[in-house]
Amino acid sequence: MKKILVLLLLVVSYVNLYSQTTINPTVNGTSASNATIGFVIVSPEKTVVGINVLLGYGNRVWISAKTTIQYNDPNTGSLITLPINRLTDINQNDLVLGNKYNYLPSNMFILNFPAIPRNVSRINLIEDRDWMWYGINFNPREDIDVKRLANNESDVNQLIASSKNKNSGIYEQISASGKNPSIYRLALIQNEDGTYLIYVSSTKPVGNWECGEVKAVLRPTVSSNIYKADWHTNDKRVESAVITFDDATMTTLISTQGNEEVYVKMSDGGNSQGTYVYSEKWSGTGFALKNGYVLTNHHVINDAETIDIYGVNGDFSRSYKAKVIGSDKVNDLALLQISDSDFHGFGSIPYSFKTKTSDVGEDIYVLGYPLTATMGEEIKLTNGIISAKTGFDGDVSQYQISAPVQPGNSGGPLLDYNGNVIGVICSKHRGTENVTYAIKTSQVRTLIESVSDSSIMDTTNQITGKPPVGGINLMHT
């Protein structure tokens, strides 16, 4: 019994179960005494029947191209016959079906037939010249209806054009788990009722999905790029998922599958502007230089229409307007200057800049304002060491450090324990623990000298051996 149970579990895994399965269904009668019906699986794609051949010398069941299933049409009552379209063994090896009989020299057949209607609960399994099982009873398939927002891809494009989400567009799957999987195209839209992923198409049929049906309902989190979701699987049952957006990519993680599927944005629905004006805020960290200059990352200020600076001299009750003086997209640096007439200077800058490369193993710390919406506006400090003199993929313009950072730390200073700024935090390595990258101050000097004067980089150090103080938070609208 234990051996048979393991075999059935393997069969369930093989057929990629996502619909109704009946193991050891009741059978009213049979003329095949050397075998039994092991299971019946009904899905929107196909009907699968497993046959257990009884152990014993000479036992076998003949399967031919004339093997069929029969059922009574639930609407008319007429008898419908469906031909077999695939026969395999337990190891997923295809067996050739032809005019001549074939048999499997092991103890399990897996027969695939076209899908039957969802409310059918009984079939006959017939081999035209040799045997039949009649009255095989099983649990009928239960399809789940989903909301439909569009009738065709043109309608989907119109929904994208009026969407209220900055990530709206059509995404195409570039990776998928399983053997020979179907590749999806999904559209992200947001309207007054909520945020949705809509099924557009797939490289091969999956279930009974139609263009415009809702594949997932997205629920926002504290991050504008991370959503929890109710995800409809191939058979339209609901599972929990996490969906993230990063630039032009979308990643889905289905709770029961454990595999991340990656999508790339291929289209914005034919309307690059849309009809909705986005208004959002995001934040990063910057730090002061002389004469009202502020240093941060290029990606922190990129695409911002206005830049407001909070936290000058520790005051978060007011903000100051700033403008971009120069930026270095390649090295992810930006130099700003406060342009507000009410600004009266930062006062004395306590830290100095060190452009000589620091050594591996040197103690460092990071200052910044991560996740201000949930962690508050108090400046945060994390510490670690320099792990490597090169950054991501061996980039010599960066350090790798062990100090942990979070979204919002970008643009913050990296300091040694002598109070010298030795870098600017720029990114963390996704999927790793405490692998952070910082741009070396040699690159900072190059940017400043190209758009201003290196004298704005203070050389007087007031915090050697003291805890860090101060900091500036950037907030864009």
Q: What is the pLDDT of residues 101-139, one digit of tens each?
A: 566 555 678 899 998 887 899 999 998 777 889 999 998
For the cut 80, the answer to whether the pLDDT of residue 352 exceeds it is yes
Which domain covers residue 246, as residue numbers?
Answer: 153-267
Q: What is the mean pLDDT of residues 141-151?
A: 78
Q: Is residue 272 part of a domain?
A: no
For the cut 60, the answer to whether the pLDDT of residue 49 exceeds it is yes
The pTM score is 0.45
Q: What is the pLDDT of residue 439?
A: 96
Q: Are residues 76 and 206 in the same domain?
A: no
Higher pLDDT, 347 or 70: 70
Read off the pLDDT band of 144 (50, 70, 90).
low
Q: Are residues 303 and 388 in the same domain?
A: yes
Tally of domains within the chain: 3
Q: What is the pLDDT of residue 277?
A: 42
Q: Is residue 144 part of a domain?
A: no
Q: Which of 200, 234, 267 is the last residue of a domain?
A: 267
Q: Are residues 112 and 200 in the same domain?
A: no
Q: Is residue 290 part of a domain?
A: yes
Q: Are residues 320 and 229 in the same domain?
A: no
Q: Is residue 148 part of a domain?
A: no
CB 384 within 8 A of CB 402: yes
Residues of the chain with pLDDT > 90, as a percent, come to 34
Higher pLDDT, 116 or 3: 116
Q: Are residues 298 and 178 in the same domain?
A: no
CATH code for position 379: 2.40.10.120
Dump pLDDT digits (tens) for 288-333: 899 999 999 998 888 777 888 888 877 777 888 889 999 998 899 9
For the cut 60, the answer to whether the pLDDT of residue 39 exceeds it is yes
Q: Is residue 188 part of a domain?
A: yes
For the cut 60, the answer to whether the pLDDT of residue 423 exceeds it is yes
Q: What is the mean pLDDT of residues 201-223?
A: 83
Dump pLDDT digits (tens) for 424-434: 999 888 767 78
Q: What is the pLDDT of residue 181?
A: 67
CB 195 within 8 A of CB 188: yes
Q: Which of 76, 102, 137 is the last residue of a domain?
A: 137
Q: What is the pLDDT of residue 11?
A: 33
Q: Are residues 221 and 324 in the same domain?
A: no
Q: What is the mean pLDDT of residues 415-443?
A: 88
For the cut 60, the answer to whether the pLDDT of residue 7 exceeds it is no
Q: Which of 13-22, 49-58, 316-325, 344-353 has the lowest mean pLDDT?
A: 13-22
Dump pLDDT digits (tens) for 365-382: 998 888 776 677 788 899
339-342-347-351 Cα dihedral, nearest 10 degrees:
-40
The pLDDT mean for the chain works out to 81
For the cut 90, the answer to whether the pLDDT of residue 413 exceeds it is yes
Dump pLDDT digits (tens) for 380-407: 899 999 999 999 888 999 999 999 988 8
Q: Is residue 143 part of a domain?
A: no
Q: Are residues 361 and 450 in the same domain?
A: yes
Residues of the chain with pLDDT > 70, as a percent, come to 82
Structure tokens at 34: 């050397």
